[in-house]
Amino acid sequence: MVGFGWEKNHGEINDRANFPIHHGIIKYWDEFESFMQYIFEKEYQVDSKDQKVLLSESPYNSNDNRNRLNEIMFEKFNLDQLNVTPTHRLTLYATGNTTGTVVECGGGISYSIPVFEDLVNGGQIEMIPSYNLGFGGHHLTRYLKSLLLNDSASSNVDIPYEYAREIKEKIGYVSNHFKEEMNSPPEFHSYQLPDGNTIEIGSERFCCAEPLFHPLLINYNNMGIHKIVYDSILKCGETFQKPLFEKIILGGGTSLFKGFTTRLNNELQNLISATPASPFSNSVKIIAPENRGLASWLGGSIKASSDSIFQSNLITKKQYEERGHIHTSNLYVQQ
């Protein structure tokens, strides 16, 4: 993986406030340019001119943002070819699937989007989800920071963001019996911070992940990830619903929480059971590859290494110079 040296050269990013991407969308363009320049010059040590580049994007990216991205990559970095592919498509490539409900739980955004192969016309049809959580792993890290700050067992310690992220990733988990665990005496875990100090962590280990299923805990008035997955599938035609329940594909680092797959499965089964005579009983099957935290990167490497696949979503420098901003809103089908 590349790019970590860029953060070090830019000093500590306090709660990632100045990170170029927020909620899956590029927000700080100067920082993004600096990041890409670092990648070309320091990590790969190549001249960006005449390079072929594949970038991933959120399905919620706007045409204005996409055009700004084209402008930077072609005019500042003089690329020869640029391929911008939605993250969930890359996750599909990584698992070798052409149909499935992709559940992306990343650092800045979490959402569900069904994709099914169009056997009649060729290609794939996607359904833009009407709902997404609106947050991701970065927000859960900040929530853990606040929990530890207000907990007497951890000595009300205000730990740095990166320490909280490490705690979340190493010992955080999703509870499958949240209310029961909250009403039981907490089991404390001694955790040594990188600076050598040790803190005691109890219910924060599972509380930090609970907003995925109850977003109101961090003041997001949205449905939980289970309801988002369920509703996104039911928005598709009846013919496709059962296959989409049978192939729910997880991607993104936030989906790596211990217990996440089991909890998501149980919550979906509860929603299905609440519907009398549901045709989807026992249909839920979740694909959770061990490397799902890198799913989009792996899918990108597969796509970039295949000339035939790389041609889809491709913009060449010649096309850009002839047509200027190239809108690609037709990549998605909405219902």
Count Cβ atoms below 10 Å from residue 270 Cβ, excluding itself: 11
Name the helix (H) or strand (E) containing 126.
strand 124-126
Cα of first residue to Cα of last residue in the chain, in angstroms, is 37
| H-state helical runs in 72-224 | 87-95, 137-149, 161-171, 178-182, 204-207
Domain that holds residue 8: 4-89+295-331
Q: Tell whether 63 and 13 lie within a shared domain.
A: yes
Residue 286, helix vs strand vs coil: strand
Q: Tell whether 22 and 80 lie within a shared domain.
A: yes
Picking from 110, 112, 23, 111, the residue whose alpha carbon sits closest to that of residue 61 is 23
Count Cβ atoms below 10 Å from residue 151 Cβ, excluding itself: 19
Q: Provide the token pair at 275.
A: 């519907």
Q: Tell whether 122 and 182 lie within a shared domain.
A: no
In the Cβ-directed half-sphere of 38, how many Cα atoms lie within 13 Å? 15
Q: Tell whether 46 and 144 lie within a shared domain.
A: no
Q: Tell whether 50 and 156 lie within a shared domain.
A: no
Q: What is the pLDDT of residue 331?
A: 37
Q: What would the pLDDT profile of 29-84 be if each residue is shown by its tens digit?
A: 999 999 999 999 999 999 999 889 999 999 888 889 999 999 999 999 999 999 99
Q: What is the pLDDT of residue 278?
A: 78
CA distance 301 to 2: 14
Q: What is the pLDDT of residue 328?
A: 42
Q: What is the pLDDT of residue 139?
A: 96
Q: What is the pLDDT of residue 14?
A: 45
Q: Tell whether 281 and 320 lie within a shared domain.
A: no
Q: What is the pLDDT of residue 87?
A: 92
User: Could you say which residues of the chain have pLDDT below 70?
Assistant: 1-18, 118-130, 152-157, 277, 324-335
Specify the long-range contacts of residues 154-157, CB closer than 8 Å, at least 24 apart: 154/199, 154/200, 154/201, 154/204, 155/199, 157/197, 157/199
For the chain, the helix, strand and coil percentages under 3-state DSSP, each to the nearest 5: 45, 15, 40
Q: What is the pLDDT of residue 324?
A: 67
CATH code of the domain covering residue 42: 3.30.420.40
Q: Tell whether 253 and 313 lie within a shared domain.
A: no
Q: Tell whether 35 and 173 lie within a shared domain.
A: no
Q: Return the HEC string of 4-20.
A: HHHHHHCCCCHHHCCCC
Task: State how many domains the chain has.
Answer: 3
Q: What is the pLDDT of residue 11?
A: 47
Picking from 242, 249, 325, the residue whose alpha carbon sits closest to that of residue 74 is 325
Q: What is the pLDDT of residue 245?
A: 95
Residue 103 CA, chain-centre distance (Å), reads 8
β pairing state of 52-57 and 81-86: parallel
